[in-house]
Amino acid sequence: MPLKLFYSPSYVAAAYAFDTTRKSAEIVKSLEVRPIAGVEIVEPRSLTVNELVRVHDPRYVEAVRTGLPRELASSSGFPWDPGVWEAVTASNGGAVAAALEALNTGAAAGSLSSGLHHAHRESGGGFCTFNGLVLAAFAARDAGAERVLILDFDAHYGDGTADLIDDEDEFFMVDVSSKWPMPGADYLDRCRRALDEIADSEGPYDLVIYNAGMDPHEDCRLGGIRGVDRNDLESRERLVFGHCSERNWPVAFVLAGGYANELLTMDRLVDLHRLTISAALDSPKAKK
């Protein structure tokens, strides 16, 4: 079966040009020029105010919708403009759609959403406006999931996610991040140990929501770990999807960190994010 990859041009509707607000469109362009066989791009439904306030404070949601008060509306770190609301409701809708697709089919699904895991209930932060990881977990629970794992392999700690699921007994979180600095040589081993510990102590899970960060790459200046290269990240992605496939845990993935600069060009960054798509497509469950 095809790998459903959720994306809408609305993902890039915000006026502020930054990796989080632009790279999804660059990935789609790359898929048009260099297709990955078996990928089906699907436009998701945008989330409504009523859906957002299940996770976020109504005053904060209204600030992002209207731009007032401006300080709260821009608390993610992006200056507010009317396109922000269009962008974040669409991209968070994609995260929810990917979770429901994976849960319903038992296969991998993804969304080119990013800017999620630093968003708290009452504000944004760290380039994140709404927390699509937690919104997706709530939607999955509504659809019958009893145990949902949020697996975060961004280079930075998902503090917003941790706070938002703290009182939710059905949700679990594993975060391998720069909160615990590690030499590059230990990175893949750390990822393996984290996955093994999940299997030994917690599972099974009805759904894994995977925040697939590429900012551990050594050339990324926001989170890069010396010695972590493209091969390591490719191995990590295959490790994640293989581990979950062996246990019949469906996976919904989203993009996370990865920031272009003169060393890590946008083309190279796009190539890194394509690794996640390829690994998801190659997982045995996705082929059924």
Residues 206-233 have pLDDT tens digits of 999 999 999 999 999 899 999 999 999 9
For the segment 120-161, what is each residue's pLDDT rounded down to a tens digit?
999 999 999 999 999 999 999 999 999 999 999 999 999 999
Domains annotated for the chain, with CATH where assigned, are 3-287 (3.40.800.20)
Q: Strands 171-175 and 148-152, how do they pair?
A: parallel
Contacts of 178 (CB under 8 A, 6+ apart): 155, 156, 157, 223, 225
The pLDDT of residue 5 is 98
Closest CA to 276 of 235, 222, 227, 224: 235
CA distance 217 to 111: 21
What percentage of residues in the chain have a pLDDT greater than 70? Answer: 94
